[in-house]
Structure 1
């Protein structure tokens, strides 16, 4: 069962840029529209967020779109932004409620936590919408932290726009690298590196005249310095920059069902993918049956996970009470992310999270890769031609990336004056992928991911290696060569 595969991680986990807190139940809905701003593409509606509890105060705004001609696309965009924000708020509220009820309820001078949310559209033209959500959480008078989520969306399809889609060739990589490194050189004391890798894809958002590159806390500066942003004038890219993008429409609509439990022994929010309206049209294929089977599978595995945790929690609570020990409620949360949804393929990445006491929680990540022509859940060997040694193909690609990562780490260590033998080289634990190794489709790549502790410390989180389809396309079956 999923529970038996759970591995240790930190008590808080970052998922898709959203910080998830451990103890969770209940459900906070973002409502109360307060104003509408007309834009080139429909209207951006501001929605007020206001939660006032003795243990937490949440204020600010979210947004949603109205007036798009395709209601399914509009719903996809709105749900993506809303669900991520709701998840953060729900989990934070419930975590603080438990701490307050257990330890601070009688403290008349207790200072509630404060969360301020600001969401705004920074770009809305040429069928592209950029949205930035900024969350500032004040834990105490002396400590707060920020989370910044960016969304860059194709208004024709509702799909995410990766950075490389905005450029005709790869010259932009060098432009970004030079600009960022030049800015770092102006104030080197503010950063922990003098160089950045030449990645094709980065967190970003668009403004009227700028491409804004975002580095998450800890990436190029100390965590305490928060997000680091670099506003690069779009004109710096010359004719290479283009908003004339072509992205394939979604193959299915992915919604969610949320089931919450707030019990003395278990706190849980379970988010279950719900598949609707498969858009393929192959004669003789019963898409309603495929859809129902997938939805039944997602719900069955999520609920079995929660019920197993519930039974364990009740037993643990009863046993602790027998010896006079007050046990903190267990936690069982399920979240998911839609990684790929085009053509005949769907990838849903699901995190099954538990907390049973101690310094940190556990989670097992499971990617469901579905061939929508038949409803089959694909394993890694299914997408490769029969005569191909798929493990060798993948291992070679991963080893190539690891060598590049380690060379960069070595160069940075030497620049800091470290001895070569003392420099930490990431991913030294990698030997080979497993027969049943986890993967998912994303854009024009397959992404191989490793469980916690598998090739690095748990602090490194889930380690991923994206492998371009163009590098291994000859080894794949034709139906799985995505572009």
Structure 2
């Protein structure tokens, strides 16, 4: 692995995140979905294009609603086949979502939304993590190659690291598991690293949930573009002491 190097400076985006929640219940279907909306602060020094923020907010809401509505239709299709004289065979379906803003610096935004769908069982039938990685200057999606310096074989860097982590804990993954990192690999950003992930059931048993691998910026510093590996200068973290 690469040695660390000095971190560059950057600014936290002054963006307000609005929390939205919708919930409802009937005898066979329940949902409680949460999703964010993003707005500029009126007195901020940095303003993202409002249409970009609106596009990201709308996309997230539509994805969450589509998941909920899809599960509701699945519930209706299944329970409509159950005989009226056997109500005990009906299944209760439920849909949930939650979100986190994981990176919000240097005109870059990364958001994750976890959607869960249940069908009468304790384990989720659906467990999917959506990611939204955007450049707030252009409105373009952030690609994997954008995170790395020019000339870096980022596919090999990520593949080697994921292979290394899997070999460290082989019992957590399918035997002789195979995976392929491509340009459309699912990922999101955190302040201290790039997280690539695989959906539940893709490389490990579904009950283990999403399989995540973090490439910490400090360990891969020579490979990482300074827009991503940076330290905010306009926000002081409060330290609580006991």
Higher-helix-fraction structure: 1
- Cross-structure match for 1:400: 164
Rounded Cα–Cα distance in structure 2 between residues aligned with 1:294 and 1:273? 9
Give aligned pairs, total.
Answer: 217
Structure 1 stretch displaced more, 469-478 or 443-452: 469-478
Aligned to 2:25: 262
For 2:39 and 2:211, locate their aligned partners in 1 and report how far apart those are by CA, in whole Å. 31
Q: Which residue of 1 aligns with 2:217?
A: 469
Residues 1:293 and 2:41 aligned together: no
Cα offsets for 1:280-299 (capped at 9, x unmatched): 637xxx61111211111111
Distance in 2 (alpha carbons) for counterparts of 1:460 and 1:262: 28
Q: Is the 1:334–1:350 contact (alpha carbons within 8 Å) kept by the matching residues of 2? A: yes
**Change in CA separation of 1:476 and 1:249 when aligned onto 2, cut-off 3 Å:** closer
Deviation of residue 433 (structure 1)? 2.5
Q: Give the whole-Å Cα distance in 2 for the aligned partners of 1:253 and 1:299.
A: 16
* Equivalent of 2:155 in 388, 391, 396: 391
Q: Once the 2 structures are TM-superposed, how far is the Cα of residue 273 of structure 1 from its aligned partner? A: 0.8
Runs of at least 5 residues in structure 1 that lack an aligned partner in the other structure: 1-245, 407-423
| Other structure's SS at 1:290 match | helix
Corresponding residue number in structure 2 for 1:459: 207
Change (3 A) 1:355 1:292: same
Check whether the contact 1:398–1:465 (CA below 8 A) recurs between aligned residues: yes
d(CA) in 2 for partners of 1:396 and 1:479? 24
In the other structure, the counterpart of 1:281 is 46
Tell me the equivalent position of 2:127: 363
Equivalent position SS for 1:313: helix
1:351 shift after superposition: 0.8
Q: Which residue of 2 aligns with 1:105?
A: none
1:446 aligns with 2:194: yes
In 2, the alpha carbon distance for the partners of 1:358 and 1:441 equals 32
Structure 1 residues 450 and 251, CA gap change in structure 2 (3 angstroms): farther
Are the equivalent residues in 2 in contact too, given 1:262–1:268 (CA < 8 A)? Answer: yes
Q: Note if 1:308 corresponds to 2:70.
A: yes
Deviation at 1:391, TM superposition (A): 1.5
Q: Is the 8 A contact 1:385 1:476 kept in 2?
A: yes
Instruction: Give the corresponding residue for 2:238.
Output: none
Q: Secondary structure at the match of 1:275?
A: strand
- Deviation, structure 1 residue 364: 0.8
* Equivalent position SS for 1:479: coil
Task: Kindly provide the CA deviation profile for residues 388-443 of structure 1, in whole angstroms up to 9, marking residues without a partner as x.
Answer: 4321111122233344x34xxxxxxxxxxxxxxxxx64446254334422211112
CA distance in 2, matches of 1:390, 1:306: 35
1:70 corresponds in structure 2 to none
d(CA) in 1 for partners of 2:230, 2:101:
16
What's 2:91 paired with? Answer: 328
Q: 2-side partners of 1:256 and 1:460: how far apart?
A: 28
> How does 1:431-442 map onto structure 2 within 5 Å?
431-442=179-190
CA distance in 2, matches of 1:280, 1:438: 32
Deviations 1:241-262 (A, max 9, x none): xxxxx99645422221111121
TM-score normalised to structure 2 length: 0.76
Q: Structure with the greater relative contact order (CA < 8 A, sep ≥ 6): 1 or 2? A: 2
TM-score normalised to structure 1 length: 0.41
Task: State which structure, 1 or 2, has the greater radius of gyration over its C-alpha atoms.
Answer: 1
SS in 1 for 2:82: helix
Q: Would you say the 8 A contact 1:469–1:482 is kept in 2?
A: no
Gap regions ≥5 residues in structure 2? 1-8, 232-242
Give secondary structure in 2 for the equivalent of 1:295. Answer: helix
Q: By how many angstroms is 1:476 displaced? A: 4.2
What value does the CA root-mean-square deviation take over the aligned residues? Answer: 2.9
Q: Aligned equivalents of 1:478 and 1:472: distance in 2?
A: 12
